[in-house]
Structure 1
Amino acid sequence: MRNGSNFLKTLGATCGAVLGLLAIGAPAHAANPLEMNFWLSGPKYDGRVAPCEAALPTISHDFQEKESTFWNSALTITGYANIHEIAFRPWQSDNIPRRYCTGSVMVSDGKVRTVNFSIIEDGGFAGYGQGVEFCVVGLDRNWAYNPACRAAKP
């Protein structure tokens, strides 16, 4: 039994030494042109982002779903006013294109609040379609865009 144990220790040490030499023996090389261009094209953003008004149905639906699911609230958005763009691609051009918008919403509790939102190219589920991120001032209960939804702006 002792000979088998010694053999395994020796085999393990030898394999470790061989793997260590292989790891430090070969230098790393840069990708060749085929490797750089074959299925590694990266994202191609066109800057085609819908206008601000296109996001309003999504905001209404997601707001109602969030309020009822997470906050046990019956609040809904009943109307919009003064929706306008405040920025489009505010950073350098190689970032994901976003259109930032703001406006007023009437909530079912009778209060008028400000909504800040962005429409993101290829920001939908699994990168398909446009995504929408929004924040209604005064109803950011988990403080995701705190303070006062400022983080939802550019």
Structure 2
Amino acid sequence: MKSLQAFVAAATLTTAFAGVGAPTPANAFTGGSFPACTEQGVLSYMAHRFVWTDDHVIQRGLRVDDITHARENKYEPATEIHQVGRRYCQATAWMNDGTKREMWYLIEEGMGFAGLGDNVEFCISGLDPWHVYGAWCRSVR
């Protein structure tokens, strides 16, 4: 009788925790809001992050004064096979030295720190000296 009770208890616990080890998709934490290429929060994030990058890495004294003509080039929704939604974008970055440069950026749904929020990667034409994003910013185009 005790072995039957132990079996039933074990079966109940196994059933109760069956979903505990299953991976949770990252987009479950985003609240369903996946920012557009033109969203002000995305554009200001890139401008502020570029300041840090220039101050600590490139060291040319450059700043992004304005970002215009933001548009989406391609959208890859999250699927069972590709579980991260991606939005590929392009814009024009107006620099503090008076030049305008093309910029490409990628918004990844649910790929923020620890899977919370979204991630933005960007590349400004001519300002990726180590080709972090490939030649001509190819990996974020």
2:125–2:137 contact (8 Å) kept in structure 1:
yes
Q: Verify: 1:72 aligned to 2:59, yes or no.
A: yes
Q: Alignment length, in residue pairs?
A: 121
Measured in 2, the distance between the counterparts of 1:123 and 1:101 equals 17
Which sits farther off after the overlay, 97-106 or 81-90? 81-90
Correspondent of 1:104 among 86, 92, 100: 92
Of 47-56 and 94-103, deviating more is 47-56
Q: What is the CA distance between 1:38 and its match in structure 2?
A: 2.1
Partner of residue 45 from structure 1, selected from 17, 21, 27: 27
Q: Do structure 1's residue 56 and structure 2's residue 43 form an aligned pair? A: yes
Query: In 1, Cα distance between the equivalents of 2:95 and 2:19?
Result: 51
Mapped to 2, the partners of 1:71 and 1:45 lie a distance apart of: 33
The alpha carbon displacement at 1:45 in A equals: 3.1
For structure 2, list consecutive stretches of 5 or more residues without a partner in the other structure.
1-13
Q: CA RMSD in A?
A: 2.1
Which has the greater radius of gyration?
1
Match of 2:132 in 1: 144
TM-score, length basis structure 2: 0.75
* C-alpha contact (below 8 Å) 1:49/1:98 kept by paired residues: no
State the identity as a percent: 27
In structure 2, the residue matched to 1:122 is 110
Deviates more, 1:116-125 or 1:38-47: 38-47
The unaligned stretches of length 5 or more in structure 1 are 1-31
